[in-house]
Amino acid sequence: MRTITVFKGDGIGPEITDAVLKILDAAKAPLEYEIFRVGAAEYEENGALIPDAAFASFEKNKILLKSPITTPIGKGFRSLNVTLREKYDLYANIRPAKSNSAVATPFPNVDIVTFRENTEDLYVGVEEQVDQDTVHATKIITRKASARIITDAFQYARAQGRKKVTCVHKANILKQSDGLFLSIFKEIGADYPDIEAEDKIVDNVCMQLVMRPQQFDIMVMPNLYGDIVSDLTSGLIGGLGLLPSSNLGKDYAMFEAVHGSAPDIAGKNIANPTALLWSGCMMLEHMGELDIAGKIRRAVDEVLEEGSCTTPDIGGKATTTEYCEAIMARL
């Protein structure tokens, strides 16, 4: 048995976490859980966004399954996602978007993996109030951070038999910062002659994604573009409820759904736990439990294909509980 840390988050976080843990247990995943509540509700009650015991648990177990956390817009505390990524150097945010034939979209056969640098760019959160009407934000791009995420993208492409890596940038305008990222991409790409290396400007990428997404395979980019473009790829496959992610560093790994905490539907038992469940499958694969991850993926595919027990966000009428029970029945 392996002990992992679980953050329940807030909004729909607790209910989709409970659903995912039930499915992991039904699949006989060899896991034990140390579960913590984190986020806005924890802060309001106890004055800490993340309890010290939760940090200690993650530092001991090295693996975290995290559900969505509410982040205030324009005021209040900083994003806990950003805090965790920086604190534990979770530099590689990997977000696979793959079509499922059971989920109707105008974009069949999408299979794109976004590699997003996770620790710098505008997300360092360095802002300066120059005067009453002017604010400056600092964009940071370094060789170290850029080289390791780009190398990871090429290594993943080679290991998975992928054919192409696309660098997404805005080096035509940001000639020094994005220019550095692009130049490092070209340097590293030369070491992988078996993989096609191309680059595209970020606004062109967004247009191309909604015209012919099948042209993309692996994409690698700085932090801000990765956040935006990966959300766009989720729209191609049916929405954020279907997009998982991993956040990997040298010593720690965090797995989370990409979507937000959706407080407007919290407690209504209609939230879709698939993104968090597939993030759990990425976690199992990271731990070497390939058979169990595969079994869960097949069960989800069968429920989606059958179609009578899916949640409202993908066109169904089932509750979270009913969807969860249907998956467990397939297991």
Q: Is 231 a catalytic residue?
A: yes
Domain count, the chain: 2
Task: Please write the tens of the pLDDT for every residue from 257-313.
Answer: 988 888 899 999 999 999 999 999 999 999 999 999 999 999 999 999 988 898 998
User: How many CA atoms within 13 Å lie on the side-chain side of 181?
Assistant: 30
- Among 179, 205, 237, the domain boundary falls at 237
Asked, for residue 71, whether it belongs to a domain, the answer is: yes
Task: Please write the tens of the pLDDT for every residue from 111-123.
Answer: 999 999 999 999 8
The rounded mean pLDDT for the chain is: 93
Cα–Cα distance for residue pair 327/324, rounded to 1 Å: 5
Q: Is 52 a catalytic residue?
A: no
- Tell whether 159 and 227 lie within a shared domain: yes
Is 224:122 a contact under the CB 8 Å cutoff?
yes
Give the model's confidence band at 71: pLDDT under 50 very low, under 70 low, under 90 confident, else very high.
Answer: low
Q: Which residues pair with 112 in a beta bridge?
A: 97
Cα–Cα distance for residue pair 272/14, rounded to 1 Å: 12
CATH number for the domain spanning 178: value is: 3.40.718.10
Q: Is 317 a catalytic residue?
A: no
Q: List the end-to-end C-alpha distance of the chain, in Å, as a whole number.
A: 20
Task: Please write the tens of the pLDDT for every residue from 167-226.
Answer: 999 999 999 999 999 999 999 999 999 999 999 999 999 999 999 999 999 999 999 999
Task: Say which of 88, 91, 123, 225 is annotated catalytic.
Answer: 123
Q: Which residues pair with 201 in a beta bridge?
A: 169
Asked, for residue 175, whether it belongs to a domain, the answer is: yes
Task: Say which of 25, 191, 203, 291 is annotated catalytic.
Answer: 203
Per DSSP, the three-state class of 114 is strand
- Tell whether 17 and 110 lie within a shared domain: no
Q: Beta strand 31-36 with 2-7: parallel, antiparallel or unpaired?
A: parallel
- Tell whether 169 and 291 lie within a shared domain: no
Is 275:259 a contact under the CB 8 Å cutoff?
yes
- Tell whether 193 and 265 lie within a shared domain: no
Cα–Cα distance for residue pair 217/59, rounded to 1 Å: 34
Asked, for residue 101, whether it belongs to a domain, the answer is: no
Task: Say which of 227, 295, 313, 323 is annotated catalytic.
Answer: 227
Cα–Cα distance for residue pair 266/258, rounded to 1 Å: 17
Amino acid at 207: M
Is 259:237 a contact under the CB 8 Å cutoff?
no
Task: Say which of 89, 111, 231, 301 is annotated catalytic.
Answer: 231
Q: Is 227 a catalytic residue?
A: yes
- Tell whether 111 and 229 lie within a shared domain: yes
Amino acid at 266: A
- Tell whether 303 and 320 lie within a shared domain: yes
- Tell whether 47 and 142 lie within a shared domain: no
Interacting residues of 153 by C-beta distance below 8 A, sequence separation 6+: 115, 165, 218, 219, 220
- Tell whether 221 and 182 lie within a shared domain: yes
Amino acid at 80: L
Domain that holds residue 247: 1-96+239-331
Q: Look up residue 74 and give its two tokens.
A: 């324009």
Tell the residue number behind the tokens 């070497």, with chain if given: 288
- Tell whether 233 and 279 lie within a shared domain: no
- Tell whether 307 and 324 lie within a shared domain: yes
Task: Say which of 8, 66, 170, 295 is annotated catalytic.
Answer: 170
pLDDT of residue 103: 85
